[in-house]
Amino acid sequence: MTGSLFGTDGVRGRVGVEPITPATILKLGWAAGKVFLRAGAGDNVLIGKDTRVSGYLLESALEAGFSSAGVNISLLGPMPTPGIAYLTRTARACAGVVISASHNPYYDNGVKIFSSDGTKLQEKLVQEIDDMMLQPIECVDSSELGKAKRFPDAYGRYIEYCKHTFDRSLSLDGLKVVIDCANGAAYDVAPNVLEELGAEVIAIGNHPDGFNINDNCGSTHLEAVVDQVRESGADIGIALDGDADRVLLVDAQGNTINGDQILYILACHRLNKGGLKGGVVGTLMTNLGLELALQDRNIPFTRSRVGDRYVHEKLTEQGWILGGEASGHIICLDKSTTGDGIVAALEVLEVMLQTGKSLSQLIAGVTLFPQLIVNVPIGTADGKELTKNSMIRDAVSDAESRLGKTGRVVLRPSGTEPLFRVMLEGDDSVLVETLTLEIAERVREAVSE
């Protein structure tokens, strides 16, 4: 998303610091409500959240904002982001609002919005909301205020949807599965889905207290699920992030499987079954090893900007259905309108059962290049301006020359955090590390200046 308020994935930041303050979030609800009403999309929104303690605060603020605009609210409570997208579409709401900061620590939070069809908002509506934020709030008459209610059986409906994406002729009976819910939105849903499909489930990261979301658990901290897989002798480990739109995996030996490898598994299996429909969309950060492995299978591949909404846009543009990011955002448009960690994990389990192969066997055809990402804090510095800095550009040119045709350099400001990401990959891990650290140091020097 673009504009003064929205980043690449909605509005996000530290709670209590603009824009994540009660007053601004209340006004965001009002502004979005006015825009939705003006667009004729309807007068009912769904609001769901993850397990952060600040979710109660922002939920109340959004509720007041939408109500003051004359929009009705259905409250979902803690619910995975893809579940909110699904329910928005099937309940025919005008929009679905997610209160979450995804993989960030508990003290951050944010708001992202799905359109009535369960996809991220179009740029036009984003800009209209941004423009409306500049106007003073005008509350509708008391007789026109929006009403709030609880959405009935949100959990149950989403669980059934997830199960419906899994081949009905198969069962997870006999499989031991470790699921790390990151103490986030899927803490109850994910274990139930797996158990109802027959798996022996060992759940961890499923006791949220408002503060422990993503805290040494989930897809950003795989140590816990790796240890549990090894100790229990599980067949697979599944690690979600705080709002469950990402998933990373662990094989029976405790080796981690990232989003690029998951895409390889799904693409190859779909190709063999005749269900690939085109090719695969990755991002600028997708490992070169995946691109080459898909090339070996004659599977088309293209890159989008970083962010699942841009992957979705590119899929729509190409008419394809499979894409994602190394971080674990996996989009299967024939099953979901957005990245869904549970649904992606179920498809991998389906592949394991249908082929009789383990995870380690399924990824044998792809070799990822050594890749290193260094995140440099930039505070209030302009990340886009840093990419134009002559000192940084010279360092990049030197690195590209030394890496040759088997390496890449990608620099980009984060769209969700005050960080500048420096990513290098190549076939020489020592050289990759050396060059990455050199460029990161140039970035730090530019920031300090």
Half-sphere exposure of 86 (CA within 13 A, CB side): 25
Q: Are 354 and 411 in contact, with CB atoms under 8 Å apart?
A: no
* Confidence at residue 9, expressed as pLDDT on a 0 to 100 scale: 74
pLDDT in tens, 298-343: 999 999 998 888 999 999 999 999 999 999 999 999 999 999 999 9
**Residue ranges of the chain with per-residue pLDDT less than 50:** 1-3
* Residue ranges of domains in the chain, CATH in brackets: 11-153 (3.40.120.10), 160-255 (3.40.120.10), 257-362 (3.40.120.10), 371-448 (3.30.310.50)
* Confidence at residue 241, expressed as pLDDT on a 0 to 100 scale: 98
pLDDT in tens, 89-124: 999 999 999 999 999 999 999 999 999 999 988 889
And the tokens for 313?
């846009």
Residue 426, classed as helix, strand or coil, is coil
Pairing of strands 371-377, 419-425: antiparallel
And the tokens for 137?
């709030």
Q: What is the C-alpha end-to-end distance of the chain, expressed in Å?
A: 29
And the tokens for 58?
């922002």
Q: Is the dihedral of CA 393, 398, 401, 405 positive or negative?
A: negative
Distance, in Å, from the CA atom of 372 to the CA atom of 320, rounded to the nearest integer, reads: 29
Q: Is the dihedral of CA 63, 68, 69, 71 positive or negative?
A: positive
* Confidence at residue 1, expressed as pLDDT on a 0 to 100 scale: 38
Q: Which amino acid is at 437?
A: L
Q: From residue 263, how far is each of 178, 294, 443 by CA, in Å?
A: 21, 10, 32
Residue 176: beta bridge partners?
200
* Confidence at residue 379, expressed as pLDDT on a 0 to 100 scale: 85
Distance of CA 7 to the CA centre of its chain: 14
* Confidence at residue 138, expressed as pLDDT on a 0 to 100 scale: 96
| Maximal CA-CA distance, the chain | 69
Indicate which residues carry an active-site annotation: 102
* Confidence at residue 324, expressed as pLDDT on a 0 to 100 scale: 97
> In the sheet where 408-413 sits, what is the strand order?
371-377, 419-425, 408-413
* Confidence at residue 406, expressed as pLDDT on a 0 to 100 scale: 83
* Confidence at residue 2, expressed as pLDDT on a 0 to 100 scale: 43
Half-sphere exposure of 264 (CA within 13 A, CB side): 28
